[in-house]
A and B are shown apart, each in its own frame.
Chain A
Amino acid sequence: SQQGEEDPQALSIQEGENATMNCSYKTSINNLQWYRQNSGRGLVHLILIRSNEREKHSGRLRVTLDTSKKSSSLLITASRAADTASYFCATDDPDRGSTLGRLYFGRGTQLTVWP
């Protein structure tokens, strides 16, 4: 069953603009991760934020986590055409007996960045 739900389902912006995607989840978590998937490819890990962290940065990526609202956001600043991809959030679920490494993925946000 899916744990996270991304919003919006699709996002279309111009190069240079910022892109913000949101993820909501249902249970308590130890951490939340964001992954990127180019069309027809495997997923690539972008960033992990732990439940005791509120914000994390990696290059042009900024992730926030609000455990009280069970939500996270991924901000991509100064977007480029090469950022066009699907972005997924993934969480663990310690309430279901922490099976080490098992993740629950949302349906993803399809980001299109126009040159």
Chain B
Amino acid sequence: DGGITQSPKYLFRKEGQNVTLSCEQNLNHDAMYWYRQDPGQGLRLIYYSQIVNDFQKGDIAEGYSVSREKKESFPLTVTSAQKNPTAFYLCASNPGQGSYEQYFGPGTRLTVT
């Protein structure tokens, strides 16, 4: 099966703890993205990466960090500095080379109490 996987589907953490969300793709896509979605809201871009070992901040990067050591993996760490981390997190990828369509994973719902 080709696609994007995110794990886990639900994640619970105590306030003050860092947590890492996994995103893996076997589509051989160059670009990968992390979005945050709050209830009734659209998607807001956190970080994106167009190539291995390179990534850029999106619109709401504060309190988050990423790495892109392998083409197929783009983990997102939600740090304790993120003031409102409870949200639905979506990972996506894009083939690059002039393609605009994004392919999304199933999402991780993070709850911090």
Q: A residues engaging B (CB < 8 A)? A: 1-2, 4, 30-31, 33, 35, 40-45, 48, 88, 90, 92, 99-103, 105-108
Contact = CB atoms under 8 A, between A and B. Distances in A.
Contacts, number: 67
B42 A106 contact: yes
Contacts of B56: 99
B101 A48 contact: yes
A44 B107 CA distance: 12
B50 interface: yes
Interface of B: 4, 6, 31, 33, 35, 40-45, 48, 50, 56, 59, 88, 90, 92, 94, 96, 98-107, 109
Determine the main DSSP class of B at the interface with A: strand
A36 to B, nearest CB: 10
A88 B31 CA distance: 21
Contacts of A99: 48, 50, 56
B94 A105 contact: no
